[in-house]
Amino acid sequence: MIGLHIVAVGKLKEAWMREGCAEYTKRLGLWSSVAVTEIDEARLGSDPSPAEIAACIEKEGARILEKIPRGARVVALCIEGRQMPSEALAAYLSDAAAGGCGSFAFVIGGSHGLSDEVKRAAALRLSISPMTFPHQLARLLLLEQLYRACAINAGTKYHK
């Protein structure tokens, strides 16, 4: 059983997102342990300067790095990351687990993205889509794709 850790900036505000994430977390329990750690968003004014945004990203990045479990393979979700089909994500998890990796940390930054330090710590930079999504929705999409990847690896009919 692999460990899946989601380290995300911000709390889920909408009930339907919380319910969706809870459903996929429950389903993932068939094949993995799942833990979610929420990092508080750094507060910015209504019209932040580029320097303020950069400081915000760095502050959030430091908090993210503190919460990544020791020994976990880090996967950073970022727009410039690699896009892959569900089957490739399944193969990535399977190959890493076969190579001795028992724990993954998937990192979702805040609305301004991830710090360079967090990206450098990642074994994989992953992009969900070339489209832009709210970072809270990215968590739901990630959990569904992790469930799909585990279902593929288990040979179930969920992935068609």
Q: Which residues lie closer than 8 Å to 19 by C-beta, 6 or more apart?
A: none
Q: Is 128 annotated as a binding residue?
A: yes
Q: Is 133 annotated as a binding residue?
A: yes
143 annotated as a binding-site residue:
no
69 is in an annotated binding site: no
Asked if residue 131 belongs to a known ligand binding site, the reply is yes
CATH placement of domain 2-154: 3.40.1280.10
Show pLDDT as tens, one digit a residue, over the chain (160 residues): 899 999 999 999 999 999 999 999 999 999 999 999 999 998 888 889 999 999 999 999 999 999 999 999 999 999 999 999 999 999 999 999 999 999 999 999 998 999 999 999 999 999 999 888 888 899 999 999 999 999 999 999 887 6
Is 155 among the annotated ligand-binding positions? no
What does residue 51 show for φ and ψ, rounded to 5 degrees?
A: -65, -40
